[in-house]
Structure 1
Amino acid sequence: MTGNPQTNSRPNASTLKPAVDPGAREALRTAVERGLPTAIADLCALVRIPSVSWATFDRSEVAASAAAVASLVRRLNVFESVDIVQAGIPGGTELGQPAILASRPARNGRPTVLLYAHHDVQPPGHDQDWESDPFTPTVRGDRLYGRGAADDKAGVIAHVASIRALVAAVGADFDLGIALFVEGEEEFGSRSFATFLDENRESLRGDVIVVADSNNWDINTPAITTALRGNVTLRLTVRTLAHASHSGMFGGAVPDAMLATIRLLATLYHEDGSVAVAGLTSIDVPTPDYSEAQLRAETGLLPGVTPIGHGSILSRIWSQPALTITGIDAPTVDNASNTLTPSVSVRISTRIAPGQSAVEAAVAIEAHLRKNVPFGAIVEIDDADTGEPFLVDTSGWAVTEARSAMTAAWGVPPIDIGVGGSIPFIADLVRVFPTAQILVTGVEDPDSRAHSPNESLHLGVFKRAILSEAFLLGSLNERVDHQTDTEPGQQPAPKKI
């Protein structure tokens, strides 16, 4: 994922805290360095569990992953409760995948921080596309390879390791309140997330929410994610025949489903590859220089293949809509016969720009598909999911604390980025906790290849991410004046657009 630096918002100078005690930070730094081998070993143990949360995969593996995370959290010995919890999926009786919920109350006027990550992972894809087994953690150079090594089991362990460092530096009897929520179905749409939040509202309530599931600008520069695209996904099925027929006998007169599907999908794009669906919107924001050469280096774009879309490259990635056909159910090449295919199904994944309602976007996409059906084909649209885009308010004190922590850990200040990916549940967090300040951080870098074969984690980034969060926790543990800078008794709310 790539991002966009924005102008950093700063609170009024009169409200800034004194400099953090350098001795306290040095103790945290030492604790993180000493604990890094344990953190890497913990991460490797999690990567070995194939916790794919998609419906067609073994749910017991997700349960095993949840149990392993819960065991790590319990061994921290700082939480009053650590539970594995499942919530219902709206509209039925099915339960969502297991999540871990742990909490300890704040004392002596300290704030409470909610730490979020997820322990489920994407499907691995084809083993032959990996240079090593996807669920065998493998170190090559300065990177750890494996499914979930970056997204997002490293985020889980970053939380665990930063708390472990805080305990090593100040003892287990600290005053900071911590709620820890490790979700088990983020990669499958967080279908029970809203129910989970409603049922566990008090246990999850925090002054600051840290979502460790995003990207950094590069391996040497940290980032705070301030803009996220939303998403609309659906299954499109196109039918033209009651049964397969001989392509030699009837081809040329009878439209098969593959022909109709190809023609219909082509209408979704302009000639330059940008999205041609009326009703999908963009936002107009300045972006920094980001060259085509950098795009090629970070994505593996083949020589001679040109980028698609218009405008600056970064605007195409995070402030314009994008539409991808992520799967097709049709006869395979190896099993192809000389027949006219009666039906074809495809998975359509659309990213929508901040500023647009996901429901509005879904309506526009369906309207386009039904309007442009060729040859009178029968179209079915189902299995739809939506996620809202998001824009974070960076004016609160928590962002200032995070910037200070990251600068100390990385040696350079963070930049604000926009990300082309989606984290739809943040809108639910804002709905349930409208006064909480949200920080979207992460352990990934442009070479992490999250969701792709050969996903990996840069171990230097991992160390600095743990250190950043340890510094943040240490700073929050010292903070008493954690109310808003402008309205006593309330905190600035993140902004959903």
Structure 2
Amino acid sequence: MDELTTRVDGMLDDLCAELRRLTRIPSIAFPGYPPEPVTEAHDLVVDLLRDAGVRDIAALRLPDTSPVITGHIPPPHPDAPTVLLYGHYDVQPAGDEALWTTTPFEPTDVDGAIHGRGVADDKSNLIVHVGALRAFDGRPPVGIRIVFEGQEEYGSDFDDYPQAHPDEFACDAMVIADMGNIRPGTGTLTVALRGVVEVIVEVHTLEEARHSGNFGGAAPDALLVLLHALAALHDAKGDVAVPGLRREQWGGGGWSEEEFRRLAGIRDGMPLIGTGNLGSRLWSGPAITVTGLDAPSVERAASAVVPSARAKLNMRCHPAQDPAEAQRLLIEFLEGLRPFGVPLTVTQAGAPGSGFAAATDGVAYAAAHEALRTAWGEDLVHAAAGGSIPLVNSLAAAQPGAEILLFGAQDSMCNLHGPNERVLVSELRDAVVAEAAFFTAYAERFRRG
């Protein structure tokens, strides 16, 4: 391990330079953005992989989807396992550049961190993969399969591809490097992802708005009906009140309340809602958020009874709960309310997204524990994420026997998708060490059975 760490330290400057070069490319695979930067990022990543010893590099091309980079390094011997490495080379748009303290696509070093759009999500993790392979001069003690996506942020036809073509993703373990640490310096394995569903709730009570002085008090106010329905989704303490939604106490690691308040930007004096530990509210239980509301604005409000109103709800559900079941429970609950006797129209908005719960008792997880402890110098924690990564479930379905590990160079304070995104050079370095150490520990444990 000393030799491995020395090798990583010796190439860290080059890895950072390549990360800056990759971050400088505005590879935004959203409609309305030019495709040339996405192609440029693709080509640079291919060059980096080739220099790191990856063979048979190819591009999987699907309709309306940026190319998926594939490639492999054969196992060094028949008894060695194969590890699939995942990442993506596309990024989110920069958003309002006035909120940035640096230029989004001009990577800038500030206090031990590199700032720029996409530097953490997910280009740093691509460099982690490249660095871990270079640490072995392109001949790691495990076989390698590369799957680097080019349209993860916007979504694409690739999400369902692995499940339909399992042989192309054959492996014994996967490192999904689109995650990171719960806090800088604390090695973290993400072991669960909540599922997601969305619904639209509508109320229509009048043919058109009517004078509130003449008709208010008897005419059914659609907005008032909708507000009563939305208020019924939570109890007095802020816990979700929909029966049947799965919730369990979270037993892994997590943020302190102080960390969470800072990360969420909660104003002084504001309470947190819900009961139980933070993990059960954020990761192993349901959460319902009103993400949109169609009603007259305050600035344009007339003295009239509102004839119709609607809201969009986003619900995150337990990692192991079927999201279709959770969506059905939510719809049935809302349809059964009938505030003031007024029925609600509830429809699903888009397809449910499944959560993910990792099996953590296998050989790869034991090797990852050893590797992350080595890299970060302390016991790692198990954490979860409120968001879903649809491709993880497709990969899990394609290779149900493969262990799936989620870790990387990001951390919860890196501000991914927001202004001033950054990655700490120290986290990049330790993530490269962790992945390289995982290859070694996994090969040895796999050989021993």
Distance (Å, rounded) in 2 between the aligned partners of 1:279 and 1:299: 28
Any idea what SS the aligned residue of 1:310 has? coil
The corresponding residue for 1:10 is: none
Matched, 1:220 2:185: yes
Q: Which runs of 5+ in 2 are unaligned?
A: none
* Residue pair 2:254, 2:383 contacting (<8 A) in 1 also: no
The corresponding residue for 1:76 is: 51
Distance (Å, rounded) in 2 between the aligned partners of 1:79 and 1:177: 10
Distance (Å, rounded) in 1 between the aligned partners of 2:255 and 2:239: 19
The corresponding residue for 2:327 is: 362
1:191-270 equivalent positions in 2, closer than 5 A: 192-199=158-165, 201-234=166-199, 236=200, 238=202, 240=204, 252=216, 261-270=226-235
The corresponding residue for 2:5 is: 29
CA separation of 1:342 and 1:77: change in aligned 2, threshold 3 A: farther
The corresponding residue for 2:384 is: 418
2:125 pairs with one of 146, 152, 155 = 155
* Residue pair 2:290, 2:314 contacting (<8 A) in 1 also: yes
1:85-115 per-position Cα deviation (integer Å, ceiling 9, x unaligned): 234xxxxxx5444322222322322221100
Shift of 1:262: 3.9
Any idea what SS the aligned residue of 2:285 has? coil
CA separation of 1:264 and 1:52: change in aligned 2, threshold 3 A: farther
Distance (Å, rounded) in 2 between the aligned partners of 1:275 and 1:206: 39
The corresponding residue for 2:246 is: 281
The corresponding residue for 1:482 is: 446
1:340-369 per-position Cα deviation (integer Å, ceiling 9, x unaligned): 777666543221113311111111122233
* Residue pair 1:329, 1:345 contacting (<8 A) in 2 also: yes
Distance (Å, rounded) in 1 between the aligned partners of 2:214 and 2:158: 48
Distance (Å, rounded) in 1 between the aligned partners of 2:101 and 2:421: 10
The corresponding residue for 1:8 is: none
Amino acid at match of 1:60: P
Distance (Å, rounded) in 1 between the aligned partners of 2:130 and 2:219: 60
* Residue pair 1:238, 1:260 contacting (<8 A) in 2 also: no
Shift of 1:65: 6.1
TM-score normalized with structure 2 length: 0.84
Shift of 1:181: 0.8
Any idea what SS the aligned residue of 2:235 has? coil
Matched, 1:118 2:88: yes
1:41 pairs with one of 17, 36, 41 = 17
Shift of 1:250: 8.2
Shift of 1:83: 2.2
Aligned pair count reads 445
Quote the sequence identity (%).
Answer: 32
Matched, 1:184 2:150: yes
1:369-388 per-position Cα deviation (integer Å, ceiling 9, x unaligned): 33346574773634423222
1:402 pairs with one of 350, 368, 377 = 368
* Residue pair 1:66, 1:100 contacting (<8 A) in 2 also: no
Amino acid at match of 2:75: A
TM-score normalized with structure 1 length: 0.77
CA separation of 1:378 and 1:466: change in aligned 2, threshold 3 A: same
The corresponding residue for 1:7 is: none
* Residue pair 1:46, 1:68 contacting (<8 A) in 2 also: no
Deviates more, 1:321-330 or 1:409-418: 321-330
1:403-429 per-position Cα deviation (integer Å, ceiling 9, x unaligned): 222222222232222333333433322
CA separation of 1:405 and 1:173: change in aligned 2, threshold 3 A: closer
Shift of 1:484: 7.9
Any idea what SS the aligned residue of 1:387 has? coil
CA RMSD in angstroms, aligned pairs only:
3.4
